[in-house]
Amino acid sequence: MGSQNGPLYPPPCPFPSRILPEDANWKQELREAFTQPEALLQSLGLDPRLAAPAAARQFPFLVPRSFARLMIPGDPDDPLLRQVLPLAAELEEHPGYSSDPVGDAQSRRGTGLLRKYQGRALLLVTGACALHCRYCFRRHFPYARDTLVHDHDQGTLTLLAADPGITEVVLSGGDPLMLDDERLAALIDRLTAIAHLRRLRLHTRLPVVLPSRITPSLLALLSASRLPIALVIHANHAREVRGDAVRSALGALEATGATLLNQSVLLRGVNADAASLADLSEVLFTAGVLPYYLHLLDPVAGAAHFEVPLAEARAIMARLRTDLPGYLVPKLVREMPGGAYKEPCG
Ligand code: SF4
């Protein structure tokens, strides 16, 4: 089952024509990213027929070459490849799987503004990402009309400023670091001017999948923020974090004073065993990042083949608690539409 409204997920943001020299690398990398699964499979020495073109038409394929280089050539079951490869299984319908599994529509309060939990507001600043995860819970989200970039009268920020009950803003998307520094700086400036905000949180996969995005000007921007910053990255497998470029990007982010946390999704064929998750926690810690959440899969249409049943997830967690110190064990949670918080699952 696909989107009811056709493929609304947009391609990466068209960048302004003026590109600063230090931004050239990551933007060039994005331009050179794989956009056809067959090309990635061929580069790995795999049969291009492993990909399902119909699935890629529903949710476009996008993988930066730096991320592709972390995959093991010749292995169709590589856990990094599994996260991005469009499969025929995505076209199957499954009861309970929908286009809005976490109730984003009912939480909408303005253009690109979601309110789910007390004290916090989520801003969908862009629909663009550097890599398209096949299990993405927003793979059907109508980004083409509902992100902050469409808020031309800036009513969303006025709403935030008028609500003293909001103390933390989460920049999400899409990926907020897909905004270039100029736009990010302008947004952070406006948020910083809201006196009742105490924290800023960024949910981003870019330090992991496109570490060249962590430029000196981005680091300066984050360092200068009046608001303390929590930076929640997204890695599911140790190999995503082990490389020098990612570790160096994370080290530089840590040096800005930001608190670094990681969220993962428990995914069949990727990390659904205690050894893989323990390895991930160990590697994250050496890179200055603490494990935060391990999400049960959100039941988004097209991703049922990634599901790990709750009983199996709990058994994995029990093993993790045995094998790791408590501070390296992520919280197993799931998001229920309308829930007051992410539900702890064991
Ligand atoms: S990076 Fe996040 S928002 Fe982007 S496709 Fe992956 S899961 Fe979805």
Minimum CA distance residue for ligand 1 atom 1 = 205
Q: How confident is the model at residue 115 (pLDDT cuts 50, 70, 90)?
A: very high
Q: How confident is the model at residue 273 (pLDDT cuts 50, 70, 90)?
A: very high
Residue 10 has pLDDT above 50, yes or no: no
Q: Which residues does 28 contact at the CB level (< 8 Å), separation at least 6?
A: none
Percent of the chain with pLDDT over 90: 88
pLDDT digit string (tens) for 251-262? 999 999 999 999
Ligand 1 centroid – CA 203 distance (Å): 10
Instruction: Looking at the CA of residue 203, tell me the nearest atom of ligand 1.
Output: 2
Residue 116 CB less than 6 A away from ligand 1: no
Ligand 1 centroid – CA 174 distance (Å): 6
Q: Ligand 1 pocket: which of 139, 204, 232, 234 to mutate (most atoms <8 Å of CB)?
A: 234
pLDDT digit string (tens) for 178-222? 999 999 999 999 999 999 999 999 999 999 999 999 999 999 999
Ligand 1 centroid – CA 136 distance (Å): 5
**The pLDDT of residue 8:** 44
**The pLDDT of residue 175:** 97
Q: How confident is the model at residue 60 (pLDDT cuts 50, 70, 90)?
A: very high
Ligand 1 centroid – CA 195 distance (Å): 30
**Average pLDDT score over the chain:** 92
Measured between its terminal Cα atoms, the distance across the chain in Å is: 30
SS3 letters for the chain? Answer: CCCCCCCCCCCCCCCCCCCCHHHHHHHHHHHCCECCHHHHHHHCCCCHHHCCHHHHHHCCCCECHHHHCCCCCCCCCCHHHHHHCCCHHHHCCCCCCECCCCCHHHHEEECCEECCCCCEEEEECCCCCCCCCCCCCCCCCCCCCCCHHHCCCCHHHHHHHCCCCCCEEEEECCCHHHCCHHHHHHHHHHHHCCCCCCEEEEEECHHHHCHHHCCHHHHHHHHCCCCCEEEEEECCCCHHHHCHHHHHHHHHHHHCCCEEEEEEECCCCCCCCHHHHHHHHHHHHHCCCEEEEEECCCCECCCHHHCCCHHHHHHHHHHHHHHCCHHHCCEEEECCCCCCCCEECC
The model's pTM is 0.93
Q: Ligand 1 pocket: which of 114, 129, 210 to mutate (most atoms <8 Å of CB)?
A: 129
Helix (H, G, I), strand (E, B) or coil at 96: coil
Residue 138 CB less than 6 A away from ligand 1: yes
Instruction: Looking at the CA of residue 138, tell me the nearest atom of ligand 1.
Output: 8
Instruction: Looking at the CA of residue 173, tell me the nearest atom of ligand 1.
Output: 3
The amino acid at residue 265 is V
Residue 122 CB less than 6 A away from ligand 1: no
Minimum CA distance residue for ligand 1 atom 7 = 136
Helix (H, G, I), strand (E, B) or coil at 188: helix
Q: Ligand 1 pocket: which of 175, 202, 233 to mutate (most atoms <8 Å of CB)?
A: 175
Instruction: Looking at the CA of residue 204, tell me the nearest atom of ligand 1.
Output: 1
